[in-house]
Amino acid sequence: MDLHGWIDAYLDHLRVERALAKNSLDAYARDLNRLASHLATEDVKEIATSDIAELLADNVRTGFGARSSARQLSALRGFFRFLVRERVIAADVTALIDRPKLGRKLPRVLSFAEVERLLAAPDRKKPRGVRDAAMIHLMYASGLRVSELCSLKLADLDTQRGVVNCYGKGGKRRLVPVGEVALAHLKTYLEGARSLHARPDTRVLFVSPRGGALTRQGFWKLLKRYAAAAGVTASLSPHKLRHSFATHLLHGGADLRAVQAMLGHADLGTTEIYTHVAQDHVRRAHARAHPRA
């Protein structure tokens, strides 16, 4: 089997054995195919450590960021370890490659005032505005990823207990509490606006005017439109709303482990970055207000 054949076999392994989501599989495919296009050989046994090093050096020359290179190296390591387990090659050629050094990049978040304006932006006199208000409120109230939000089923929402059941990366299930305000918007949407477009067999919670699921790209576009209408000048993405959810919880004194569980982070270290954002917020407030600052 040639290199492209083994790449396909590895992607099948990730899809079946590790149950990775389509977006993650697409990212792995891009990184592995970038390696394939860089090499002059299709024989995996001929790939050397120097080939991987040259690929990473080429990334620097072409402006490929350190974070993207680190992600790519992680994908390559998984691939070559897979080849070792399958006894295709004798040793992992990425073992001696150092991971690109990353600066600690703090996530940008919205202020409380910006969130309030964003939440108030949809016109709730219109069915689409009712749906959009429910989606934005739920995302900020629960910290869901945009893919999790758009793939929610009706059965995933428990309005009695005030929780939403979502499936995150790797198909991992978690229950996330939803606040009363977001629940009120969801109930309004379910009692009227949803039935205007949903087909009888539609199981997704949030539907498009055509009756199917709203896409991630569709939600991103409507979010940017509402941000502009609300006067939120900072570039806004669904993930920034998730960052804001986590940071605002920590500002309010939430336990770090609880925030980790709500976000669905496997590693507490991933969640800890939000404590740095919160501490920075406290330092700025102290500098502005304290007479001896």
* pLDDT 10s digits, 152-178: 999 999 999 999 998 877 777 888 889
pTM, full prediction = 0.64
Active-site choice (169, 216, 224, 281): 169
Active-site choice (239, 257, 284, 286): 239
Strand 157-158, strand 163-167: pairing: antiparallel
Mean pLDDT of 98-115: 76
Rounded Cα distance between 277 and 279, Å, is: 5
Angle of helix 238-251 versus helix 216-229 axis, rounded to 10: 70
DSSP output for 85-130: HTTSSSS-TTTTPPPPP----PPP---HHHHHHHHH-S-TTSHHHH
Residue 10 appears among annotated catalytic residues: no
Give CATH 1.10.150.130 domain extents, the chain. 3-85
Task: State the amino acid at position 230 in one-letter form.
Answer: A
Measured in degrees and rounded to the nearest 5, phi and psi for residue 176 equal -125, 130
Residue 38 appears among annotated catalytic residues: no
For 195-210, how does the pLDDT look when each residue is reduced to its tens digit (9 = 90+)? 888 888 889 999 998 8
Start-to-end CA distance of the chain, whole Å, equals: 66
Burial state string for 108-121 with b = 16 or more CB within 10 A and e = fewer than 16: ebbeeebbebbbeb
Active-site choice (137, 194, 242, 248): 242
Residue 242 appears among annotated catalytic residues: yes
Give residue 3's pLDDT band: very low, low, confident or very high (50, 70, 90). Answer: very high
Compare 104 and 160 and report the one with higher pLDDT.
160
Active-site choice (131, 145, 185, 194): 145
CATH topology classification for 112-289: hpI Integrase; Chain A (1.10.443)
Give CATH 1.10.443.10 domain extents, the chain. 112-289
Active-site choice (15, 71, 224, 265): 265
Q: Which of 184, 117, 186 is nearest to 149 (CA)?
A: 186
The β-bridge partners of 213 are 207
For 20-77, how does the pLDDT look when each residue is reduced to its tens digit (9 = 90+)? 888 889 999 999 999 999 898 889 999 999 999 998 888 888 877 777 888 889 999 9
Q: Which CATH architecture has domain 3-85?
A: Orthogonal Bundle (1.10)
